[in-house]
Amino acid sequence: MKFLYKLLPAVFSLCLFMACNDDDNMEELSGEGTVKLTFDNSFGSDDLLLGASSYTNSQNEVLTISRLNYIVSNFTLTNDMGETFTYPKDDSYFITSEETGETEISLTNVPAGRYVSVTFGIGVDQEKYLQGADGQGTFLAKAEETNMMWSWQAGYKFLNFEGTFTSPTVTEPTNFKIHMGSHGSSLDNYKEVTLNLGTEALVSDEMNPIIHMVADANAILDGANKISLSEQAVIMVSEEKSPKIAVNTAGMFTVDHVHNGSGDTH
């Protein structure tokens, strides 16, 4: 019992020390940092390998994928206090491309904090598009270079998903093209998604986290809405199917894990 009485003050002191360390950690999150988001494209539980592997969906369609490009935009980070940081709109449009290997984006000058969720759009919102060609900055040229526009009048391709497929009713390899975007104000397919990070992303002058995302290409056709390539292999402007593909695409993203690291990633 005497040993227990002697031990209690030591335990109490240790708890105080740990609490002080927690407070210190909170105080250390000052200044600004960079948040990187990497998009790891998959098909179901398999890595996505362009042209090298075939993947079967629930409709027994076997896909060989040659292109997966999509636009992500309008990023907002929410911290553990419920406060939000909205990334500057003019800089908040990115193209991720499995084809070119550009699947990582960086959000710079993010205020220090413990961030618990991320919100972003899939595509280009009407507000940005209605600024006209001169209001798009360098993003318009980037979209043209990466085959993410039909034309300025027709608008951006939010998603460019292409390859070949076979099925029980289509026995010869057949090209498929799934291009999804908005077509004027009458068909607005821009979607936003909010994802909990699971682990706090710590940002400061010395902390620059990496958020590892997974984008499941299978969800594009085989998500909440089932889209059959055997019925229609080319979908670009469809009042019926394009909005369903937009919903599916918004549902293909998950957060795999967060890596909190130190060092200058600016």
Shared-domain flag, residues 17 and 109: no
DSSP secondary structure letter of residue 89:
G
Shared-domain flag, residues 50 and 111: yes
Question: Domain range spanning residue 216?
Answer: 32-259
Shared-domain flag, residues 143 and 49: yes
- Kindly state whether residue 130 falls inside one of the protein's structural domains: yes
Tens of pLDDT, residues 223-255:
999 999 999 999 998 889 999 999 999 999 999
The reported pTM is 0.87
- Could you give the CA distance from residue 33 to residue 158 in angstroms, rounded to a whole number? 29
pLDDT, residue 28, reads: 79
Is residue 120 over pLDDT 50? Answer: yes
- Kindly state whether residue 265 falls inside one of the protein's structural domains: no
Q: How many domains does the chain have?
A: 2
DSSP secondary structure letter of residue 148:
-
Shared-domain flag, residues 3 and 36: no
- Kindly state whether residue 38 falls inside one of the protein's structural domains: yes
Using 50, 70 and 90 to split pLDDT, how confident is the model at 27?
low
Is residue 180 over pLDDT 90? Answer: yes
Mean pLDDT value across the chain: 89
Shared-domain flag, residues 63 and 50: yes
Shared-domain flag, residues 17 and 47: no
Asked if 208 and 259 count as a contact pair (C-beta separation under 8 A), the reply is: no
Is residue 159 over pLDDT 80? Answer: yes
Strand partners of residue 179: 160
Is residue 26 over pLDDT 60? Answer: no
pLDDT, residue 185, reads: 63
Tens of pLDDT, residues 30-76:
999 999 999 999 999 999 999 999 999 999 999 999 999 999 999 99
- Kindly state whether residue 264 falls inside one of the protein's structural domains: no
CA distances from residue 66 to 54, 91, 96, 111, 173 in whole angstroms, order as listed? 11, 29, 15, 39, 13
- Beta strands per DSSP E along 87-143: 93-97, 104-111, 113-122
Strand partners of residue 65: 163
pLDDT, residue 3, reads: 38
Asked if 117 and 197 count as a contact pair (C-beta separation under 8 A), the reply is: yes
pLDDT, residue 13, reads: 47
Using 50, 70 and 90 to split pLDDT, how confident is the model at 187?
confident
Shared-domain flag, residues 22 and 76: no
Is residue 149 over pLDDT 70? Answer: yes
Helix (H, G, I), strand (E, B) or coil at 210: strand
Percentage of residues in the chain having pLDDT higher than 90 = 79
Average pLDDT over residues 129-157: 91
Is residue 2 over pLDDT 80? Answer: no
Number of Cβ within a 10 Å radius of residue 218: 20
- Kindly state whether residue 212 falls inside one of the protein's structural domains: yes
Shared-domain flag, residues 153 and 163: yes
Residue 207 neighbours by CB under 8 Å, 6+ apart: 29, 33, 112, 260, 261, 262
The identity of residue 243, as a single letter, is P
pLDDT, residue 179, reads: 96
Average pLDDT over residues 107-111: 97
Shared-domain flag, residues 79 and 190: yes
- Kindly state whether residue 96 falls inside one of the protein's structural domains: yes
Shared-domain flag, residues 90 and 127: yes
Shared-domain flag, residues 167 and 196: yes
- Kindly state whether residue 266 falls inside one of the protein's structural domains: no
Shared-domain flag, residues 11 and 38: no
